[in-house]
Amino acid sequence: MGAQVIAVPNHIDSHAHLCHKAFRDDLPSVLARAQEKGVFPIINVAVDPETSRAAVEASERHEGLLATVGIHPHEAARMNERVLKGLRALCNSGAVVAVGESGLDFHRMLAPRWCQEECLRRSVRLAIRHDLPLVVHCRDAELEVLDIIHEFRAGLQGRVVYHCFSSLPEYAHRFVDEGCYLGFAGNVTYWDQERLHRAVTRVPLDRMLVETDSPYLSPGPQRGDRNEPANIGLVVSCLASALERPVEELASSLRANAERFFGISRKGEP
Asked whether residue 221 is domain-assigned, the answer is yes
Asked whether residue 4 is domain-assigned, the answer is no
144-176: per-residue pLDDT in tens?
999 999 999 999 999 999 999 999 999 999 999
| Weakest-pLDDT range from 46-55, 84-93, 127-136, 189-198 | 189-198
pLDDT exceeds cutoff 90 at 270: no
Tally of structural domains, the chain: 1
Q: Which residues span the domain enclosing 123? A: 11-262
Asked whether residue 6 is domain-assigned, the answer is no
With beta carbons less than 8 A apart as the criterion, state whether 21 and 47 touch.
no
Sequence-distant (≥ 6) Cβ neighbours of residue 188 within 8 angstroms: 196, 197, 200, 235, 238, 239, 242
| 65 phi and psi angles, rounded to 5 deg | -105, 130
The CATH number linked to 179 is 3.20.20.140
Asked whether residue 63 is domain-assigned, the answer is yes
**Residue 8's pLDDT is what?**
52
pLDDT exceeds cutoff 80 at 189: yes
Asked whether residue 270 is domain-assigned, the answer is no
pLDDT exceeds cutoff 50 at 257: yes
pLDDT band at 266 (very low <50, low <70, confident <90, very high): low
Asked whether residue 220 is domain-assigned, the answer is yes
Asked whether residue 138 is domain-assigned, the answer is yes
- In the β-sheet with 160-162, what is the strand arrangement from edge to edge? 11-16, 39-44, 65-69, 96-105, 134-139, 160-162, 181-184, 208-210
pLDDT exceeds cutoff 90 at 262: yes
Asked whether residue 114 is domain-assigned, the answer is yes
Please give the model's pTM, rounded to 2 decimal places. 0.94
**Residue 245's pLDDT is what?**
95
For residue 102, the number of C-alpha atoms closer than 13 Å in the C-beta half-sphere is 33
Helix (H, G, I), strand (E, B) or coil at 73: helix
SS3 content of the chain, % helix, strand, coil (to 5): 50, 15, 35
230-248: per-residue pLDDT in tens?
999 999 999 999 999 999 9
* Mean pLDDT, range 108-126, rounded to an integer: 98
pLDDT exceeds cutoff 80 at 88: yes
